[in-house]
Structure 1
Amino acid sequence: MDRHKKDFLPREDLEAIQLKRLKETVERVYHLVPFYRQKFDEVGLKPKHIKSLDDLKNLPFTTKQDLRDHYPFGLFAAPLDQIIRIHSSSGTTGKPTVVGYTENDLKVWTEVMYRTFKMAGVGPGDVVHNAYGYGLFTGGLGFHYGAEAVGAAVVPSSVGFTKRQLMLLKDFGATILCSTPSYALHLAEVAKEEGYDPPKDFLLRAGFFGAEPASEGLRQAVAEAWGIKYFECYGLSEIIGPGVAASCPEGELHIFEDHFIPEIINPETGEVLPEGEEGELVFTTVSKQGLPIIRYRTKDIASLYKAPCKCGRTILRMGRILGRTDDMLIVSGVNVFPSQVEHVLTQVEGLTPNYVIVVDKRGVLDVLEVWVEVDERVFTGDIGSLENLKRKLEEELANALFLRARVKLVEPKTLERSMGKAKRVVDRRELKDIA
């Protein structure tokens, strides 16, 4: 069976694979990972108690903090002489999370990325320009091996050196672009500055974008800037890297659930929520050997749907990531997700998708500011036009957020650009609390 045909299995066949693999994984972690053995014993669970997929809800959760507490290799279920690759997160908010891969794990990773590229019909003759970072970050190598597996030629450009990347995109005739959505927009912006005429001067037909949240407006902006079909790729280093889920030609995100069983839970109570309800996304890996993870709390807010997709795939569909429980800002008692702000910005003509959300304190009151770059075609120095644009945006934000936000319009190309994940939020309240 071609690997991507697993996406079309009858539901009962898929669930039989899941249950078999779940039982094997629970056995593995119980006997090889002291952390899980203790967790299971605390609630009186043994591997033999897992008799159906419904029993998954009885297993304990795993969090990022658990990984940090057992840094570096405490949650590995394979000895180091079987680990052939190690990646880790940046560790900007504490100890980095470390992930290890056995030879079989790398085969699984390559398979799900193979299936990701197959969704866009990528194959021999395609040139994949991979502008994700190589190194400890899982993005670059994940896309690299998946593209090679489908028979495409890979240009491992990594991040940075934007002008050189544009030269390679054009001269090598790249047909597929892989990058964060914010960097794809930055590439298009610099292309115009350098005298290129995107998309006419390039052969790109599709792109795979991920590693950061993207509103519908941002996705449209990337697609239009390059004249391409936008494919989303969702992943977490702790689960496998990129390749946990990917979008099909219909624009629906599909989870490769024969390897990663998803659940949606109430983030407050941990209760499993019904199909279609929004909540925190949880994953259990059922084919990994090096670092199998039980019920990992991603902190991403999404929803799940079982109905088959128009593309014919039977694997679960996942709603767009609405935000993260830890990205949510509470401003004057109101919950605000950066994705909500981004969506509004992309619906107002005359603005670019380059923005920063700044939260500050004035006395005891929270103040929300949105700094956003104005489109070059609008930034003509006409004060009246800019005031009208500012007023319109403040009204739209108030309607969407139920909160007043101050808007600061800034000149084009003045906000800092990111080669990787874009930094969208500056919370100055934290600095004042420390002081």
Structure 2
Amino acid sequence: MKYFNEYAETMSRDEIRNIQSQKLCRLVKYVYTNVPHYREKMQKIGLLPGDIKSVDDLKLLPFTYKQDLRDTYPFGMFAAPMEQIVRIHASSGTTGKQTVVGYTAHDIDMWAECLARALTSAGVTRGDIVQIAYGYGLFTGGLGIHYGCEKIGASVIPISGGNTKRQIQTMVDFGTTVLACTPSYCLYIAETMAEMGIKPEDTKLRLGIFGAEPWSEQMRADIERSLGIKAIDIYGLSEVMGPGVACECEAQDGMHIQEDNFIAEIIDPDTGEVLPEGSTGEIVFTTLSKEGLPLIRYCTHDISQLVTERCSCGRTTARMKKVTGRSDDMLIIRGVNVFPSQIEGVLLEVAGTTPNYQIIVNRVDNMDVLEVQVEMNPSIFSDEVKEVENVEQKIRARLDTVLGINAKVRMVEPKTLVRSEGKVKRVIDNRRI
């Protein structure tokens, strides 16, 4: 099956625009009536719901930030009464109050529909056995993928994260064909499989659905090579819906956005100015169909690009390119903007390293110092010290070129850096301590 909902996935751009305009007008009236926070924001700038007549007027509306959700914690941004809220999730953020998300029964159905479209575009069918190693619970990843797979009719193994050897044994014994987890955890699974003496051909795995953290094309290549699968990028965030806001199709040429349910914009994160198509900037989403927690112009802090030309798969929905980093996770080192994904890309280009690394930033004598700790591949760990030094020099020279600043590179023994069964923490910025 090429499409799950052919009409929604192949509408003309004019049809998409008309649907978005109609839904946007309804949305603005809905939040103005039901969410005091939005009503106050709009009144403050002298904007009334009737002023919004089409998607052209989207730019008139105020942005929404994660802090707005924290300021109204826990349920102050909900637009539906609690007796209509059938599910509550919360973000896995590590700073400040968690952000709480509420779903009506309609929202859950819409979410499952979005996931079914996304997973179908990636190549998942009702004949697949999908092992979901995303976390379940308050995190949206596990249950989100779960409902989408069930809507397609695929068999689901709701194993959740952790217990990696059990994950692998289950994969082998149950004949798992699709693995869904974070890309960093997938690499850890591949590494553990090799230690257990299990080869990719010992499994029936053919496809991976990976998201919840930025990952590079080099990491994709490493995953596909290590497990002999096709690696698909899926995008979402709890506040907007969860996974399935956008997802790559089998062409792997950008993630298709479910545009009848979401409007995407690219803005300059410093000025808020909407940027033209093809520009790199912060992606902003407006939810068009949600009842429980509708959001207007939600700033994601994710850095990406948008394109609208028809994909080779036949879908006409806009695509967002791979997230290259986050505007709020961006490191400023001696005045230079540095994204961890840039460093990861360099490391995966250089032979003799593994995809496991740690970025440490210190301030010494009022000077920022960037150190990158890189795990050696076992093959060079046993070689001469000179060979290790050569790899260090190659990485250092390449980082100098890519980043435009000097970085200290330190090779460490295999398996010495902390592994993760969820989102991996790559950066330790000691300047904030």
Alignment of 1:13-412 (within 5 A): 13-197=15-199, 199-252=200-253, 253-412=255-414
CA RMSD of aligned residues (A): 1.0
Measure, in 2, the Cα distance between the counterparts of 1:301 and 1:150: 31
Structure 2 SS opposite 1:378: helix
CA drift at 1:91: 4.1
Query: Which letter does structure 1 place at the counterpart of 2:163?
Result: F
| Aligned AA (1:36) | Y
CA contact (8 A) 1:4 1:114 kept: no
Write the distance in 1 (CA, Å) between the matches of 2:35 and 2:91. Answer: 21
The residue identity in structure 2 corresponding to 1:146 is G
SS in 1 for 2:420: coil
Q: Please give the alpha-carbon distance, in whole angstroms, between the structure 2 residues aligned to 1:346 and 1:206.
A: 21
Q: TM-score, normalised by structure 2?
A: 0.98
Q: In 1, Cα distance between the equivalents of 2:13 and 2:93?
A: 39
- On the 8 A contact 1:4/1:115 being kept in 2, the answer is no
Q: Number of residue pairs matched?
A: 430
Q: Is the 8 A contact 1:283 1:296 kept in 2?
A: yes
Give 3-state SS (helix, strand or coil) of 1:75's partner.
coil
Residues 141, 242 of structure 2: 8 Å contact kept: yes
What do residues 112-141 of structure 1 show as CA deviations (whole Å, max 9, x unaligned)? 100111012322221001000000000000
Shift of 1:268: 1.3
Q: Tell me, in whole angstroms, the C-alpha distance in 1 between the residues paired with 2:273 and 2:396.
A: 37
Q: Which amino acid aligns with 1:420?
A: G
**Higher alpha-carbon deviation: 114-123 or 276-285:** 114-123
Contact 1:4–1:118 under 8 Å retained in 2? no
How far, CA to CA, are the matches of 1:287 and 1:349 in structure 2?
47
Q: Does 1:3 align with 2:5?
A: yes
Q: Distance in 2 between matches of 1:218 and 1:357?
A: 17
1:165 is paired with a residue whose SS is helix
SS at match of 2:357: strand
CA distance in 1, matches of 2:49, 2:217: 43
Gaps of 5+ in 2: none
Cα deviations by residue, 1:399-418 (Å, 9 ceiling, x for unpaired): 00000001010111111001
| Amino-acid identity (%) | 54
1:428 corresponds in structure 2 to 430
Over residues 242-284 of structure 1, what are the superposed CA-to-partner deviations in whole Å (9 max), with x where a residue is unaligned?
Answer: 0110001111211111111000111111111111111111000
**Deviations 1:128-171, CA, capped at 9 Å, x for gaps:** 01000000000000011111111110001101110111000000
C-alpha distance in 2 between matches for 1:322 and 1:126: 30
Q: Distance in 1 between matches of 2:340 and 2:126?
A: 39
Name the SS of the counterpart of 1:309 in structure 2.
coil
Query: Do the aligned partners of residues 4 and 232 (structure 1) sit closer, same or farther apart at CA in structure 2, a change above 3 Å counting?
Result: farther
One-letter code of the match for 1:392? K
Counterpart residue identity of residue 231, structure 2? Y
> SS at 1:359's partner residue?
strand
Counterpart Cα distance in 2 of 1:272 and 1:157: 41
TM-score w.r.t. the length of structure 1 is: 0.97
Deviation at 1:4, TM superposition (A): 4.8
Q: 1:309 to 1:428 in 2, by over 3 A?
A: same
Q: Does the aligned pair in 2 maintain the 1:372–1:408 contact within 8 Å?
A: yes
* Cα distance in 1 for residues equivalent to 2:404 and 2:193: 38
Question: Is contact 1:235–1:242 with CA below 8 Å preserved after alignment?
Answer: yes
Q: Which runs of 5+ in 1 are unaligned?
A: none
SS of equivalent residue, structure 2 residue 171: helix
Contact 1:35 1:75 in 2 (8 A): yes
**Runs of 4+ in structure 1 over 4 Å off:** none
Distance in 2 (CA, whole Å) between partners of 1:251 and 1:23 is: 33
